[in-house]
Structure 1
Amino acid sequence: MRITIVAVGRLRSDPEKSIVEHFSKRITWPVEFREVEIKKNLAAKALKQQEGALLLKNCPSGPPIVALDERGKEITSRTFAKKISDWQDDGIGDLTFVIGGAEGLDDVVKQRATETISFGRLTWPHMLVRGMLVEQIYRAQQIIAGHPYHRD
């Protein structure tokens, strides 16, 4: 399984970057990060639309797109692992995750997504969501492998 994470904003030398690097190194699947930015000072709606277009432009064509959005479906780590495992069983070798910016994801991104999931109803900083996602991908890989990292 090849994973592409397309996200708004660039990770700097922050604690979030350390978390992303830590779990990225532990994942045995190839993980590619594509960071996009709009440097213009725009109104929230226009910014969200431009970020959405840029996110989709940077998504590989073909693989399923999983959007992360606070209004998405809340799932467990086991359900997340099962979805990835099912895609693998169906012969899908690539998967794309999309993380919006501070304004969230534009509707065009959510409409294009195969799945829209949430890490709960709380609002999370988009930079922190990257670390949470990478940890959940690692956790899913361990669940699929039968490793005891995950505890119910």
Structure 2
Amino acid sequence: MNIKIVCVGKLKEKYFKDGIAEYMKRMDRYAKMKIVQVPDEKAPEKLSPAEMEQVKQIEGERILSKIKDKEYVFVTAIKGKERTSEEFAKEIQDLATYGHSDITFVIGGSLGTSPAVNKRADDLISFGKFTMPHQLMRLVLAEQIYRAFMINNGSPYHK
């Protein structure tokens, strides 16, 4: 199975990099996992609604350029469907069982994802109604993907 996380912006904080690297290393025995970063669009602090949409559109085009047609795509979104870890694990297992060996997760930039990215999604996934920095979301997502594989393999990690 191939797992890809497409995300906007560079990760600067060492502690996030270290945490993500640890989960990626742990995943080696279960699936190939990689992170693909696309540049964020530079924008001033105060943006009009039209300018916000333009930033999301540009970032969205960059995200979509990293996704192939055959990939099953989850986009992180506050309005997405919340799941328990067990439900998420079963979903990952079912996707693999039914021929989806390439799964991509998208984490948008600070303004979220464009309508085009959301339309490309096979599913919108939410990690709750809290707003999280997208750098932290990478770590949370990496851990939850690892947890899903641990659940599916009957590991005591999940307890």
TM value normalised by structure 1: 0.94
Is 2:40–2:109's contact at 8 Å kept on the other side of the alignment?
no
Q: Unpaired runs of 5+ in structure 2? A: 45-50
> 1: CA distance between counterparts of 2:150 and 2:131?
27
Q: Pick which of 23-32 and 113-122 moved more.
A: 23-32
- 1:114 aligned partner: 122
Identity of aligned residues (%): 40
Is 2:23–2:142's contact at 8 Å kept on the other side of the alignment?
yes
Is 1:10 aligned to residue 10 of structure 2?
yes
Residue 54 of structure 1: how far off its partner (Å): 0.9
Please give the per-residue CA displacement for 1:103-143, whole angstroms capped at 9, x wherever unaligned: 01111111110010100000011111000000001000000
1:55-74 to 2 correspondences below 5 Å: 55-74=63-82
- 1:34 aligned partner: 36
Q: Pick which of 81-90 and 7-16 moved more.
A: 7-16
3-state DSSP of counterpart to 1:65: strand
> 2: CA distance between counterparts of 1:53 and 1:40?
15
Residue 14 of structure 1: how far off its partner (Å): 2.7
> 2: CA distance between counterparts of 1:97 and 1:5?
5
3-state DSSP of counterpart to 1:149: helix
- 2:47 aligned partner: none
1:2-151 to 2 correspondences below 5 Å: 2-27=2-27, 28=29, 29-41=31-43, 43-151=51-159
> 2: CA distance between counterparts of 1:39 and 1:50?
7
- What's the C-alpha RMSD, in Å, of the aligned pairs? 1.3
3-state DSSP of counterpart to 2:157: coil
Residue 39 of structure 1: how far off its partner (Å): 4.4
Is 1:60–1:96's contact at 8 Å kept on the other side of the alignment?
no
Q: Unpaired runs of 5+ in structure 1? A: none
- 2:48 aligned partner: none
Residue-pair matches, total: 151
